[in-house]
């Protein structure tokens, strides 16, 4: 009985939204449309840790295409959707929050970049953390990201296997007059001091409105602190939080940043 099957799955989603099996996302499209519409109204966009696989993404994309108006937020984090699933979604749906820890690689970045570049795409938060995108994958994302800067507020690319090679593009984005990014997380990437030096070119720009920057575990030394202090002196009005834990930086190395906190001219309030 279709009604009983749908009701059972629906109740299961309500009671245990993080314990769903892949079978929950392999029902007919009409059934899945019902599930997505109702579950997402009660738990707006919460489909994280639901064991959704690539085949489930095809059904999800079709369901969202049929009834997209109610969903403004989509969280598919910690699902093994992989590149195949990401491509299915990016072709049919303008995601307003993307996926962290979804086993994505650079192969899915082209499709995601194209989706971000659509005129109808309004992206507020992009979280692709814990996916091995690499610098090549980031380059594929860039064209779409450039077109999303006017809306984008939060960008999380932590633990994405990036290096200093991506920092020129990031700096260019931060310095753009269209940029509205306020939170940037690049933790867990091998940026090193030369990457921070490149990034600071964007931070120096008066167009940069970044309020929070996370650079945890990025293989940095005291040289990066020197670059950051110089950048903040050029653009003191916005950056309030700076996260530097997990780097080869001693307490004595951050004295320059602590001086900025004491100075009311600077927005900087916290160093971690």
Do the domain assignments include residue 134? Answer: yes
Q: Which two tokens stand for residue 80?
A: 């093994």
Rounded distance between C-alpha atoms, residue 215 and residue 224, angstroms: 10
Question: What's the pLDDT tens digit per position in 172-203?
Answer: 999 998 888 999 999 999 999 999 999 999 99
Do the domain assignments include residue 139? Answer: yes
Rounded distance between C-alpha atoms, residue 118 and residue 122, angstroms: 9
Rounded distance between C-alpha atoms, residue 55 and residue 48, angstroms: 16
Is pLDDT above 70 for 40? no
Is pLDDT above 90 for 115? no
Longest dimension (CA), the chain: 69
Contact of 204 with 231, CB cutoff 8 Å: yes
Do the domain assignments include residue 1? Answer: no
Contact of 126 with 99, CB cutoff 8 Å: no
Pairing of strands 241-243, 183-185: unpaired
Do the domain assignments include residue 34? Answer: no
Do the domain assignments include residue 261? Answer: yes
Question: What's the pLDDT tens digit per position in 45-101?
Answer: 566 666 777 777 777 777 666 665 555 566 777 777 777 777 777 665 555 455 566
Do the domain assignments include residue 120? Answer: yes
Rounded distance between C-alpha atoms, residue 201 and residue 164, angstroms: 13
Average pLDDT, stretch 137-146? Answer: 84
Instruction: Choose between 99 and 127: higher pLDDT.
Output: 127
Q: Which two tokens stand for residue 113?
A: 């970049």
Domain membership of residue 206 as a residue range: 66-271
Is pLDDT above 80 for 105? no
Q: What is the pTM of this model?
A: 0.76
- Min mean pLDDT across 117-121, 139-143, 201-205, 242-246 is at 117-121
Do the domain assignments include residue 160? Answer: yes
Q: Domain total for the chain? A: 1
CATH (domain of 164): 3.80.10.10
């Amino acid at each position: 009985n279709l009604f009983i099957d749908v009701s059972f799955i629906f109740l299961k989603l309500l009671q245990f939204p993080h314990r769903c099996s892949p079978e929950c996302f392999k029902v007919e499209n009409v059934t899945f449309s019902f599930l997505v519409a109702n579950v997402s109204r009660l738990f707006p966009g919460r489909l994280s840790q639901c064991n959704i696989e690539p085949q489930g993404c095809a059904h999800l994309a079709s369901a969202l295409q049929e009834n997209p108006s109610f969903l403004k937020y989509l969280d598919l984090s910690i699902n093994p959707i992989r590149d195949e699933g990401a491509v299915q979604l990016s072709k049919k749906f303008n995601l307003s929050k993307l996926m962290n820890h979804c086993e994505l690689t650079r192969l899915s970045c082209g499709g995601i970049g194209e989706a971000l570049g659509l005129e109808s795409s309004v992206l507020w938060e992009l979280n692709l953390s814990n996916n091995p995108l690499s610098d090549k994958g980031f380059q594929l994302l860039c064209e779409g990201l450039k077109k999303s800067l006017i809306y984008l507020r939060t960008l999380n690319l932590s633990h994405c296997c990036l290096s200093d090679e991506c920092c020129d593009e990031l700096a260019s984005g931060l310095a753009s007059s269209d940029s509205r990014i306020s939170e940037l997380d690049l933790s867990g990437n091998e940026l090193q001091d030369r990457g921070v030096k490149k990034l600071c070119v964007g931070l120096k720009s008066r167009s940069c409105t970044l309020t929070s920057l996370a650079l945890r575990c990025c293989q940095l030394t005291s040289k990066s602190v020197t670059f950051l202090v110089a950048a903040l002196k050029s653009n003191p009005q916005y950056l309030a939080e700076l996260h530097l834990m997990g780097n080869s930086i001693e307490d004595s190395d951050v004295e320059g940043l602590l001086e900025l906190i004491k100075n009311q001219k600077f927005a900087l309030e916290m160093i971690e």
